[in-house]
Every structure is written in structure tokens, then in C-alpha cells.
Amino acid sequence: MSGVQNLTSTSKSAASIDRAKAQGRAALIGYLPAGYPSVEDTIAAGIALAENGADLIEIGIPYSDPVMDGHVIQAATTEALAKGFHVRQVFDIVRGITSQTDAAVLVMTYWNPVVRLGVDEFSRQLAEAGGAGLITPDLIPDEAAEWMAASDKYGLDRVFLVAPSSSPERMKRTVEASRGFVYAVSIMGVTGARSSVSTAAKDVVAAAHAAGAERVCVGLGVSNADQVREIAAYADGVIVGTALVVAIGDGGVDAVASLTKDLSTGLTREEA
């Protein structure tokens, strides 16, 4: 996979994670659903994330059939769609955030909206908007030939998911197909805050590292600084979603800023 290694140097996500690593800490990745409660709020909250300690920002495209999302994110994206969110607005959001901050901005999307616009066209517009790449919850490398080509063409990161159920063969294949980082699903389940992070997460991260992944970030169920601290001890990055969605829904951009500040206190590794 020499191609992957060569392109790693140009990966915006990798650069952000490596910058955190150089500071002796894990990276913080914050998720926001695009257009919730408005496109302007998503941009403002994205900037607040970056200014308060997030290294990467994940913008989710609202989709009619989000099978990997729990109730909180479903409710937010359903509301965004009901208010008339259009997929093309995600590029405005990415541009709005990347023009104001140094954070790497990824788009998290179910695959059909990308298919509909056209994989190449979607990639071109994302790159033009300054986006770092895509996180694809329902696209596995087996079906990703078109995306592999487009992401190479436009220099975008392709973040695939690995799970506690991934076999060693699949783990290797997915790690090799990924660029930027690998998204380790902490538990067998959907998005949503949980009181404790399963012990499976540590095993998944170890397996991904063993399969050759340089950067592995953990998502699903992470909602507070203690959980961030626990994961930061073994992972290269920590992904927080649902808790931020609750924050922006309840307290707007200010609440996102203060939660991000709090979450970032968990990033520094105790042994560092």
C-alpha cells in the first residue's frame, strides 16, 4: 500500500492528529449535524469547536434513513431535513468553517446522497470547499472502488469504520483502504451517549494498530471528559457526537464551546 503511505503526508486529518500527538495528547473530534438547528448555527458551532480544543470536525449530512444513528442524532437530522436542508449546503458549511479555522473538517455521510450527486462531483466540491475527506458509516471498502478513485484524485481522506466484530482479515483490509485515520466503533450498537465506554473499544484500537493503522480514533457513546480521558490513554483520537448535539440543541453555540472546553481537559495522556 505504498500509495496510501505517500498520500498520508497530504492528509489533513493525519496532520491534525499528528499535531495533537506532538503536544502529547490525543486529538478531539467533534460531530455536528449539518443544518441543525440552522446552517449558520452549524458553521458557528464548528468554529466554536475549533476555538475550544477540537482538532477535527465531523459534519454529518442529514439523511432519511440513518441506520447507524440513535434517537438524539435522528431527531436532529430529521428536524434539519424538515426545515429544508439540502445536501449542497454541506459544502457551504465546510467552507464556512475551514475559512475561519485550522481544524480538519470531514463530512460524515450515508452513501446514497453521494451516489445521487455523483461520487466524483461530490468529491470535487468537497475538496474545493476545503474539506478533509469523508467518514462513511454504510460504505465498506468492498463497495468503495469509485470512492477510492475519487478520493485519490482530489486528495481526500477516506475514513472507514472498524468494529468489535471485524475479523482480522477485514481489519487489515479496512485499515489498508483507509487514509487519515481509522474510525473504531467502540461498541456493537448505534450512536448515543452511554454511561460507560465498553472495554471492546481498547481491543478494537489494538487490533487496528496491529493491522498497521497509524491513527485510530474511537467513537460511539463518548459524552464526557472522563470517558475522553479513558480513551485518550490508548487511542489517537476521541470522537464525540451525541453530547454535542444535545448541547447545541439545548444551549446553542455557547453550550458547544463550553462542552468542548470541558471535553478537551481529558485529552492529555497521564503518562505524557
Active-site positions read: 58, 69
Query: Residues 148-187 vs other proteins: string with x where CB under 8 A?
Result: ------------xxxxxxxx--x---x----------x--
**How many residues are there in the chain?**
272
- Say which DSSP state 224 is in: S
DSSP SS3 for 40: helix
Instruction: Report in angstroms how near the CB of residue 260 gets to other proteins at its nearest.
Output: 27
**Diameter of the chain measured on Cα atoms:** 48
Sign of the alpha-carbon torsion through 136, 202, 271, 244: positive
| Binding range to other proteins, per CB under 8 A, among 49-57, 93-101, 113-121, 226-234 | 113-121
Instruction: Report in angstroms how near the CB of residue 254 gets to other proteins at its nearest.
Output: 29
Is residue 206 close enough to count as binding other proteins by CB under 8 A? Answer: no
Q: What is the dihedral of CA 261, 264, 67, 216, to 10 degrees?
A: 160
For 268, half-sphere exposure in the C-beta direction (CA atoms, 13 angstrom radius) is: 6
* Under 8 Å between Cβ of 19 and 55: yes
Q: How far apart are CA 89 and CA 59, in angstroms?
A: 11
Instruction: Report in angstroms how near the CB of residue 157 gets to other proteins at its nearest.
Output: 17
Judged by beta carbon, residue 145 or residue 272, the one nearer other proteins is 145
| Binding range to other proteins, per CB under 8 A, among 29-37, 66-74, 147-155, 232-240 | 66-74
Is residue 114 close enough to count as binding other proteins by CB under 8 A? Answer: yes
Instruction: Report in angstroms how near the CB of residue 194 gets to other proteins at its nearest.
Output: 11
C-alpha cell recorded at residue 205 = 484500537
Q: How far apart are CA 90 and CA 118, in angstroms?
A: 15
* Under 8 Å between Cβ of 97 and 31: no
Is residue 242 close enough to count as binding other proteins by CB under 8 A? Answer: no
Is residue 66 close enough to count as binding other proteins by CB under 8 A? Answer: yes
Instruction: Report in angstroms how near the CB of residue 139 gets to other proteins at its nearest.
Output: 7
Out of 4, 37, 78, 79, point to the residue binding other proteins (CB under 8 A).
78
Cβ-proximal residues to 23 (8 Å cutoff; 6+ apart), any chain: none
> Residue ranges of the alpha helices (H) in the chain?
2-8, 12-22, 39-51, 71-82, 89-98, 111-117, 119-128, 145-154, 168-177, 200-210, 225-232, 242-264
Instruction: Report in angstroms how near the CB of residue 117 gets to other proteins at its nearest.
Output: 7
Out of 23, 99, 112, 258, point to the residue binding other proteins (CB under 8 A).
112
| Binding range to other proteins, per CB under 8 A, among 4-12, 64-72, 208-216, 228-236 | 64-72
Is residue 67 close enough to count as binding other proteins by CB under 8 A? Answer: yes
Out of 10, 99, 153, 188, point to the residue binding other proteins (CB under 8 A).
188
- Could you list the residues that contact other proteins (CB under 8 A)? 63-68, 70-71, 74, 78, 81, 86-87, 111-117, 137-140, 142-143, 160-167, 170, 174, 185, 188-190
